Amino acid sequence: MFNRVTSFCRKVLNLKDNERNFSELVPLVLPRDEHGISRKDISENALKVLYRLNKNGYKAYLVGGGVRDLLLDKEPKDFDIATNATPEEVRKLFRNCRLIGRRFRLAHILFGREIIEVATFRGHHQSDAEKNTSSTSSDGMLLRDNVYGSIEEDAQRRDFTINALYYGVDDFAVRDYAGGVADLKDGIVRLIGDPETRYREDPVRMLRAARFAAKLDMTISKETEAPIQHLAHLLKDIPAARLFEESLKLLQSGQGLNTYLLLRELDLFEPMFPLLCEHFTEDMSSKTEQMLEIVLRSTDKRIESGQRINPAFLFAAMLWYPVTIRAEEISFESGLSYYDAFMVASNDIIDEQVKTLAIPRRFTAMIRDIWLLQLRLGRRTGNRAFKLLELPKFRAAFDFLEMRGEVEGGQPEELANWWRVFQSAGNDSRKTMLQDLNKASGNKKKPRRRRGPTRRRNPQANKEA
């Protein structure tokens, strides 16, 4: 099979990007017996959509990451479909359909919690001003892109060769228009078209290149990587809400640590986290960098074991040392107590970070809770330790305290060890631990002075007097 694939790819890749005519190029078609994709590995809901579109006379294919992952024997995260039906035509066929998007109109077909995304084949930008429904900025960034076309044009408009793969249920074949199958075999992430032009159209493609390379353990091709560092600044023009969503895909992919290291190498980390880059060193030895490595490695392990993860915890850990350093500066300059300075610093850091990543309020509230509990976990006397255990965010705060112990040692490490024992101890043991703590701190509970009963005054006596 791969001999056929390699021959096809040489035919495609030997052409210069601006000379490729995908509409005239015969795609590589891998029949059912030459690939490992089986319908049993595809979502039943995605198959329903494909069959209904075909039944009503439309062409429809499973496309992109779903086909890529199936060919790599990986479980796809989602299943996207490309068709020659317009979004309005798709909506007529499915009552459970809603249309979204301004930049490019998409149909979302809802099956409970599963969403099957259906996109109409994209076409080339039209020169006719009356028909042109695309729009670009002065930097070449696509602002609106509702131009429909053929499957060949759609393949050319996709970002990477490994995503320009189409699987149909009419013949169970895989169609490859850009040499994606060979690049999968060789472990190469390669852009379709001129890299600088494609990055200017959508700078997020630079982040996607890094994510695919780290997630799939591939190498970015030289021509695809070459323009990234001098175009990285274009990410500052991307809406903060979109960058937040991309940051989750990057850091919560199961390969977050490797992705972070690659982003730093390509100068793509700074546009998303400028606050963190102020604390970076050449030997990656700062507390911020140590914490980043610890929390990302922990996140990767949790994803691998199927455990739940919360973005708020990740961001709380990443931004902790910028907060504490800012708090110390504010306290020194203003004379505020450290606690008050910390509250001011936490608001400042979050306000600055959301300018580049629009972290939702539900997450920023939890970030603040985790931070504030770091100040409270050291106050354990009396009934405070028992009350802290009952707080909803205690577990997250404790997990973060353990990470701080790894970085700082000393008092945070001792405190984390104490809380670890206290959580698993019985009630009597807990009381003993608190008594020992009180003795060690010299905080002996003073006996309350008993007061005798107050005598009731006789109002009548006062009256007679």
The confidence score (pLDDT) of residue 315 equals 98
Q: Per the residue annotation, which of 69, 80, 154, 183 is the catalytic one?
A: 80
Tokens of 76: 């796809």
The confidence score (pLDDT) of residue 102 equals 73
Where in the chain are the domains?
Answer: 25-186, 297-429
57 DSSP assignment: T
For 453, the enclosing helix (H) or strand (E) is none
Q: Per the residue annotation, which of 41, 78, 186, 348 is the catalytic one?
A: 78
- pLDDT tens profile 355-382: 999 999 999 999 999 999 999 999 998 8
Q: Which residue has the tokens 């579109």?
A: 53
CB-based contact 46:79 (threshold 8 Å): yes
Active site residue 159: yes
Active site residue 78: yes
Per-residue pLDDT of the chain (465 residues; tens, 9 = 90+): 444 444 444 444 444 443 344 445 578 999 999 999 999 999 999 999 999 999 999 999 999 999 999 999 999 989 999 999 999 999 999 999 999 987 678 999 999 999 999 999 988 755 344 434 444 445 544 444 567 889 999 999 899 999 999 999 999 999 999 999 999 999 999 999 999 999 999 999 999 999 999 999 999 999 999 999 999 999 999 999 999 999 999 999 999 999 999 999 999 999 999 999 999 999 999 999 999 999 999 999 999 999 999 999 999 999 999 999 999 999 999 999 999 999 999 999 999 999 999 999 999 999 999 999 999 999 998 889 999 999 999 999 999 999 999 999 999 999 999 999 999 999 999 999 998 888 877 655 555 555 555 555 555 555 444
Q: Per the residue annotation, which of 69, 145, 154, 159 is the catalytic one?
A: 159
The confidence score (pLDDT) of residue 127 equals 38
The confidence score (pLDDT) of residue 448 equals 53
* Residue 433, phi then psi, degrees to nearest 5: -60, -40
> Quick one: residue 65, left, alpha or beta (phi over 0 = left, psi -120 to 50 = alpha)?
alpha
Residue 428's CB: how many other CB atoms inside 10 A?
Answer: 8
The confidence score (pLDDT) of residue 139 equals 54
C-alpha 245/C-alpha 232 separation (Å) is 18
CA atoms within 13 A on the CB side of 313: 21
Active site residue 428: no
The confidence score (pLDDT) of residue 450 equals 53
pTM confidence score: 0.83
Tokens of 365: 């509230």
* Average per-residue pLDDT for the chain: 87
Q: How far is CA 261 from CA 209, 222, 251, 289, in A?
A: 14, 18, 11, 11
The confidence score (pLDDT) of residue 141 equals 46
CATH architecture of the region 297-429:
Orthogonal Bundle (1.10)
Q: What's the CA angle centered on 270, arms 269 and 274, to 5 degrees?
A: 130
Domain 25-186 and domain 297-429, same fold? Reply is no
CATH architecture of the region 25-186:
2-Layer Sandwich (3.30)
